[in-house]
Structure 1
């Protein structure tokens, strides 16, 4: 395994070196330059792959003031931007933003990063700095359209804190599809999401960084032959959560983007945004770790600002920093997330822009198969244990868990088993494995994807997909079990055209079928960016708009067909988006009809089960009639209308 990764790294480095050698100046043309008002002139470069493929790149352009010293733990400053005399060399990316290092990575991230090792943007060793608010612009080297090129802005995949974010080389998308791609770096971990919970530091600085980048693009992309009136923001995983939060961010991104693409991630997961009070004890940990006064908060923040950035990143307690509901948490700025996103979506506080959204068929399967647990299937006992663990975690994470009645967990568990236990009953380990993977994928990816599509489709054109095809090239999936479908990240192989540029280990060649799929996927996504209709030109595929009355999903496999009742079940969507939250809220309340506080057991007579069945039937009747989804965060009770 080690030699395989080493070979892959060496071949990637060779490719990056060849690109770099070709880029700097050659081809008998002067390096391209652009003058940015109030900043200065930047010199870009021509990037070339093979003999005839070429794009223009401007790398490492600052879009905000450096968030250092007194600007640590504050919103980005977009006035008096960094400026320079003469010509700034914009031929190498800026440094990566600091984040807490991890000893272990999620399995899907680990395997995917091994695949692209040293072939992602920039290649070679990564450099880190707190001064990291830079963006990179990739432009077709072709005749510009009358209105300028449409712009695709991407936020890196990864985690808000922990896993290294990565941005794939957009060369093939830019060259083949003739659009501009802009990649954006933003603050992560404690630097991007520290909150004092008391008005001094609201948090969400990383999201504010993204808004600052979008403002810079709106003001300046025309200088780079871009169309500021045709900007699409796109994210994968955590990046998709970011894109979703921009849909509900109000004035923070007003008129800065015009379409959105969410891949394998959603703002509607209850875990996508944390309550700020979750971090109250974290401030005590930080004060202890760095020898700071805990109170007043201003003293704590001043102390933390004096800590070297690398020391702060590498020695902070293991705190899961991320977006928070920041209403009332700032004395100087408007909230970026004024309420839980599910509430905002329910209230219709969404930006009315066309949406492309979807997921793969087995998103987190590689996490579920750690240690080969699922290699030979699942036994009945393990199947039920895994379902029970998930239910217990949901109950434990409720914001109002002090009202939780322990005995009512049985009711929640019955609901989940009713939905996912095979019928007729079976002990077949492969069937139970399949049902568990369906459970894990549908609750975290399918249900929130369809829920957001339901709301957005009532306001703008919406297109939904499910990715069912993984690379056919053996070297690209060598560490993925044969029975596994498409894990998290691996649809990116096609979106960014990896079969056309990524060197594989052992000098293996990409299967031509993977190149054909990459061409189709890149065309679909680029058509959406340019025309809204993903099938406008270049493909002969039927991809119908998603609507409340006709909720069609494009199944991206070898056939590229729209879903039917055999390929897409909306029963699970109804369960997770409506019924399960109701059961969770019910279980969190001590109800005399179903619960005995003294014994902690469900009362005899099956009252809880009877209520469960009756409620389930009523819920499904309502949903079948209206097909309207109202998923509020667990612990919130809907108000009467």
Structure 2
């Protein structure tokens, strides 16, 4: 009884405090935070804009982050304001799914958040439950999306997740576009600075999260879109090993096509950047000296459009430090060169539907011609043949894909063709890569796969999304972060009670994973089986039920086609072409054998289908 009174007294003192306790950060100083409150009695503690590395400005531009000698201060630092976002161009039009989701986020704010950008942007935010804890909280470290060229750690509101599920949430800013991913392809500027920023934040978490009540040995890296790709890259990078114990990757996959750049293709980028700013191309230390004197806004405005900025395979760039990404992620996972931690990953059933949506009436579809052209363009991007006059083998590859996805029986119904195209694209880009990643990781650690089919019931969440589209990119985050509970008081009634209930379940499963490495370990009476190569399965989240996949809900045969058969067709097709291009006097018997092999594979496909 006495212990209960003491506990209640402590809780009363905490709730009556005007601000949360001050935190002493290792080798930095003391910070004070603030409470974020809803309905007076519900609150969490927030510590915002905490520097986790030295500002990457002046001579630190295009360098790995400096996090062993951290920024320090005297007295108590006020950590109650967001830091500016990393430099990015917010005048470029957003994809439709991003535009609609940002509109929904903005509608839940009392006043629009002022957009501020700075090159000095290596800061993070820490959100902590405000109650009496009995053990160290797990920590979710959030890497935002935005295709590595835009995004903010400050857009997502984790209030409901932290309040109800008792986890610590850390959101991280990292360098983007040219600032985060320019490389001179040598030791002077190896690139991947944005990813190294994330590593620096994980070191900060490891050294400081215990002061916030967290368990430094229970850290779950968590990302969406490019943030999810980042999660996969940390699993294969030696830089990140030992800094996290679990991983959640949503709607982004490190094995997806064109995830990373390679040096051979980036030579032209270095030349373009040097030319754009009037710098000598070589030696590269002079190039960097020149670029570091360029005004940051000019560097963004002129440099950002010059390339498709993303992580790069940096093997051989430096003889001083090891590579962040020594090889293609697909090769590293295949060779089992990764950190085997429990993984929760998945995608929505119509990730890219709004990109391909023509914005016409509900019955609008695509013609057979449109279907064929779009499908062929996507396949052509996989065929890296230098000789553009070599067509025959490319046609064989196209025919193999066309055969697998052609409608049976044939149809001219444009609505059906639109659905077939979305299935093709989702299978290839999202489903098959998720399936392949699970096959690799599940050999050494538990993996939980999901597909999110559940469209919100609330009209306010579906505004601008055609009825024919189920769950586009971003819209699973509505449930993951409890958005139905975060609306302004006058808008709470706009959210359907079913969305509120479902959101509670999703948050519970995601944080169960952070606590216990199992999404249904506690407080959820649902069966979600771990993925096994002999018994592969996805957890299907839809309006009818939450259940494991069946042959009717997940086309595993399509995933096997993309991960096993299709690469063989591409390899043989492009090899024939390259051999005939590189050596016109090649042995005709060899060429015939290659063609025979391709034809054999093609007929195997027919039998499998």
The alpha-carbon distance between structure 1 residues 562 and 122, as it changes in their structure 2 partners (threshold 3 A), is: farther
The alpha-carbon distance between structure 1 residues 30 and 365, as it changes in their structure 2 partners (threshold 3 A), is: closer
The aligned residue for residue 495 of structure 1 is 480
Of residues 486, 499, 504 in structure 2, which corresponds to 1:514?
A: 499
C-alpha contact 2:236 2:332 (8 A) present in aligned 1 = yes
Q: After TM superposition, list the pairs within 5 Å mapping 1:468-507 onto structure 2.
A: 468-503=453-488
1:286 matched to 2:273: yes
| Separation of aligned partners in 2, 1:332 and 1:588 | 37
State the SS of the aligned residue for 2:106: coil
CA positional deviation for 1:126: 1.6
The aligned residue for residue 253 of structure 1 is 240
The aligned residue for residue 334 of structure 1 is 322
CA positional deviation for 1:532: 1.0
The aligned residue for residue 258 of structure 2 is 271
State the SS of the aligned residue for 1:65: coil
Matched positions, count: 588
The aligned residue for residue 581 of structure 1 is 567
CA positional deviation for 1:392: 2.0
Q: After TM superposition, list the pairs within 5 Å mapping 1:612-627 onto structure 2.
A: 612=598, 614-616=600-602, 618=604
CA positional deviation for 1:457: 0.9
CA positional deviation for 1:225: 0.4
| Separation of aligned partners in 1, 2:412 and 2:582 | 34
CA positional deviation for 1:299: 1.3
The aligned residue for residue 90 of structure 1 is 79
Q: After TM superposition, list the pairs within 5 Å mapping 1:219-258 onto structure 2.
A: 219-250=207-238, 252-258=239-245
1:349 matched to 2:334: no
> What 5-or-longer segments of structure 2 have no aligned partner?
1-13, 585-591
The alpha-carbon distance between structure 1 residues 620 and 226, as it changes in their structure 2 partners (threshold 3 A), is: farther
C-alpha contact 2:105 2:155 (8 A) present in aligned 1 = no
> What 5-or-longer segments of structure 1 have no aligned partner?
1-24, 599-605, 625-641
Of residues 552, 558, 580 in structure 2, which corresponds to 1:572?
A: 558
The alpha-carbon distance between structure 1 residues 528 and 405, as it changes in their structure 2 partners (threshold 3 A), is: same
CA positional deviation for 1:169: 0.5
1:52 matched to 2:41: yes
The aligned residue for residue 560 of structure 1 is 546
The aligned residue for residue 129 of structure 2 is 140
Deviation readout 1:264-306 (Å, 9 max, x if unpaired): 1111123111102222122222222222222221111111101
TM-score (norm 2): 0.91
| Separation of aligned partners in 1, 2:351 and 2:465 | 13
1:457 matched to 2:423: no
Of residues 408, 411, 418 in structure 1, which corresponds to 2:403?
A: 418
The aligned residue for residue 633 of structure 1 is none
What is the RMSD of the two structures over their aligned residues, measured on CA atoms?
A: 2.8
| Separation of aligned partners in 2, 1:213 and 1:122 | 29
| Separation of aligned partners in 2, 1:164 and 1:375 | 36
State the SS of the aligned residue for 1:174: helix
The alpha-carbon distance between structure 1 residues 620 and 267, as it changes in their structure 2 partners (threshold 3 A), is: farther
The alpha-carbon distance between structure 1 residues 591 and 301, as it changes in their structure 2 partners (threshold 3 A), is: closer
CA positional deviation for 1:527: 0.3
1:358 matched to 2:367: no
State the SS of the aligned residue for 1:117: helix
C-alpha contact 1:92 1:122 (8 A) present in aligned 2 = no
The aligned residue for residue 282 of structure 2 is 295
| Separation of aligned partners in 2, 1:340 and 1:562 | 32
State the SS of the aligned residue for 1:614: helix
The alpha-carbon distance between structure 1 residues 247 and 121, as it changes in their structure 2 partners (threshold 3 A), is: farther
| Separation of aligned partners in 2, 1:197 and 1:99 | 23
Of residues 413, 430, 433 in structure 1, which corresponds to 2:415?
A: 430
| Separation of aligned partners in 1, 2:166 and 2:283 | 54
State the SS of the aligned residue for 2:218: strand
The aligned residue for residue 61 of structure 1 is 50
Of residues 168, 190, 194 in structure 1, which corresponds to 2:156?
A: 168
Q: After TM superposition, list the pairs within 5 Å mapping 1:186-201 onto structure 2.
A: 186-201=174-189
C-alpha contact 1:544 1:552 (8 A) present in aligned 2 = yes
C-alpha contact 2:138 2:514 (8 A) present in aligned 1 = yes
CA positional deviation for 1:376: 1.3
Deviation readout 1:338-375 (Å, 9 max, x if unpaired): 00000001100111110101000010000011444985
C-alpha contact 2:449 2:531 (8 A) present in aligned 1 = yes
Of the structure 1 ranges 349-358 and 317-326, higher mean CA displacement relative to structure 2 is found in: 317-326
State the SS of the aligned residue for 1:450: helix
The alpha-carbon distance between structure 1 residues 617 and 594, as it changes in their structure 2 partners (threshold 3 A), is: farther
The aligned residue for residue 79 of structure 1 is 68
State the SS of the aligned residue for 1:590: helix
The aligned residue for residue 216 of structure 1 is 204
CA positional deviation for 1:121: 12
The aligned residue for residue 29 of structure 1 is 18
The aligned residue for residue 3 of structure 1 is none
State the SS of the aligned residue for 2:448: strand
The alpha-carbon distance between structure 1 residues 31 and 592, as it changes in their structure 2 partners (threshold 3 A), is: closer
C-alpha contact 2:145 2:151 (8 A) present in aligned 1 = no
State the SS of the aligned residue for 1:589: helix
The alpha-carbon distance between structure 1 residues 610 and 111, as it changes in their structure 2 partners (threshold 3 A), is: farther
| Separation of aligned partners in 2, 1:115 and 1:614 | 52
C-alpha contact 1:59 1:137 (8 A) present in aligned 2 = yes
The aligned residue for residue 9 of structure 2 is none
The alpha-carbon distance between structure 1 residues 165 and 481, as it changes in their structure 2 partners (threshold 3 A), is: farther
C-alpha contact 2:30 2:75 (8 A) present in aligned 1 = yes
CA positional deviation for 1:488: 0.4
State the SS of the aligned residue for 2:500: helix
CA positional deviation for 1:167: 3.6
| Separation of aligned partners in 2, 1:341 and 1:220 | 30
C-alpha contact 2:143 2:222 (8 A) present in aligned 1 = yes
| Separation of aligned partners in 1, 2:140 and 2:582 | 57
